[in-house]
Structure 1
Amino acid sequence: MPMASTLTIVRNPIFLTHHYQFNKQFTTPSSLRLLSFAKMEGSEISEEVGEDSRAKRKIFVAGATGSTGKRIVEQLLAKGFSVKAGVRDLDKAKSTLSSANPSLQIIKADVTEGSDKLAEAIGDDSEAVVCATGFRPGWDLLAPWKVDNFGTVNLVEACRKRNVKRFILISSILVNGASMGQLLNPAYIFLNVFGLTLVAKLQAENYIRKSGINYTIIRPGGLRNDPPTGNVVMEPEDTLYEGSISRDQVAEVAVEALAYPEASYKVVEIVSRPDAAKRSYHDLFGSIRQR
């Protein structure tokens, strides 16, 4: 199998979950056969993509060594995609990702360095981009804007230069908290303390929506590193203001969004709940209306 090219830049959309647990208020057997880019469960679509064709389905992941990003890379590879992982630290990537996998290509890429360099990293062989980047907490109060706003915009512009027509963004619930009447929500306040993080993310979302690119914006609740303990609940934008979800499920939603046309041009908010009924992704994405 020829080496696949994969750029993954994925980081925690809600950065503080590396060190904090959200309180209840916010946290209250053969290889897979892939259908053509619009796989639909229960439909009569029967066209299948063979092994050789699957190897050509390359997805660029920005933030691939992040806690969520690496899970997206793993799930893409498990489902037969080739991945081009975009990372800032090549040494870290080689120890974090399965660099021996012939379907994985690790490339140095920094979303803050402009769209031209990102376009070179994405190349002409990537059919979609998944952005799971996120700034690292520190003293630079402009970091959220450099990464979560301008960095995402750079990535969108790089897609335009390479004619990549599919874009998946990992964002966060409560990005539009001000319009939701959640200005006094402790989580909204805390997440905006370090450089107005949620505001930066919202501005990037708005840019994507006006760009003309086929997008899916995924807003997860508080991120958990532990395995899933419930089923995915998916709601329209500006609906959820509390709840949590396993990073494994966030990665799954991102990967499934590439397969279902029902996910196109939509903003979805996700958490998991033990009492929620298990629903297909065809049903979940189909239940959300475009705005």
Structure 2
Amino acid sequence: MARVLIVGASKGIGFETTLQALAAGHQVRAFARSAPRIKADQRLEIVKGNALKAADLDAAVEGVDVVIQTLGIGLSDMIGPVRLFSDSTRHLVAAMQKHGVRRLISVTGFGAGESRSSINLLQYGPFVLVFGRAYDDKSRQEKLIKESGLDWTIARPGVLTNGHKTREYRVLVDKKEWRNGLVSREDVADFLVREIDDRSLIGKAPVLIY
């Protein structure tokens, strides 16, 4: 089993990934500002830290095999400039390179990077108005990951729901198939945990939807 660092582990996709990685038998280091709220498990190491602080990430990365990055922000954080995703990724990549940790699995979203061109015309205007700043930064995040030289996989989920894990989601690697759709946080977590051992999608950034 792998030693896995989950960045952004206290809620949302990160919390679900923490639970599922533990259930799969992995040793998990849960990193978040509110990480101490996570229920303890003998294979769970809780690390309180700020993803925008290089020293915090440097300490968290040391000694792990795989890093899963699952950062998110609320709607209120999208009003002004957004730099969380790119700034934290810059620190994370540097820490991984320093400590020789190769495997990075990161969550961005449908609309980041080259997937933005697959948004249909009716959705494009509202998407840019509401999510534009955040996804501009997610695009910068993806660029940093792709230029890192690490063994990366980027997951681009569609619209997130609170549904249960079904394992019936689609993993769309081919750009011609990319489109928006629903997918639960639990199913995104299922994909991320599977990627811990699966190396077939290294260097790929699939869209996840039902």
- TM superposition score normalised by structure 2: 0.89
Superposition deviation, residue 230 in structure 1: 7.0
Contact 1:141–1:195 at 8 Å: present in 2 too? Answer: no
Gap runs ≥5 in structure 1: 1-53, 273-291
Tell me, yes or no, if structure 1 residue 108 matches structure 2 residue 48.
yes
Between structure 1 and structure 2, the one with the greater Rg is 1
| Post-superposition CA distance 1:24-65 (Å, at most 9, x none) | xxxxxxxxxxxxxxxxxxxxxxxxxxxxxx3xx310000001
Letter in 1 for 2:23: A
Return 5+ residue gaps in structure 2 as ranges.
Answer: none
Structure 1 vs Structure 2 CA RMSD = 2.2
- Tell me how far 1:75 sits from its aligned partner: 0.7
Deviating more after overlay: 248-257 vs 176-185: 176-185
Matches of 2:118 and 2:8, distance apart in 1 = 31
Structure 1 residue 76 corresponds to structure 2 residue 21: yes
Cα deviation, residue 177, structure 1: 6.5
Greater mean deviation of Cα atoms: 174-183 or 72-81: 174-183
**Secondary structure of the corresponding residue to residue 201 of structure 1:** helix
Instruction: Tell me whether 1:141 sits opposite 2:80 in the alignment.
Output: yes
Aligned twin of 2:170: 233
Q: CA deviation at 1:240?
A: 2.4
Counterparts in 2 of 1:183 and 1:243: CA distance versus 1, 3 Å? closer
Q: TM-score, normalised by structure 1?
A: 0.65
Q: Give the letter aligned to residue 39 of structure 2.
A: S
Query: Are 1:152 and 2:89 an aligned pair?
Result: yes
In structure 1, what is the Cα distance between the partners aligned to 2:146 and 2:122? 26
Maintained 8 Å contact 2:119/2:180: no
Partner of 1:243: 181
Q: 1:164 to 1:61 in 2, by over 3 A?
A: same
Which of 98, 109, 121 is the equivalent residue of 1:161?
98
SS in 1 for 2:169: strand
- 1:98 aligns with 39
| Cα distance in structure 2, aligned partners of 1:252 and 1:212 | 25
- Give the stretch that moved more between structures: 68-77 or 152-161: 152-161
| Count of aligned pairs | 208
Runs of 4+ deviating beyond 4 Å: none
Task: State the identity as a percent.
Answer: 24
3-state SS of paired residue (1:186): helix
State the distance in 1 between where 2:57 and 2:15 align.
Answer: 19
SS at match of 1:111: coil
Find the counterpart in structure 2 of residue 215 from structure 1. 152
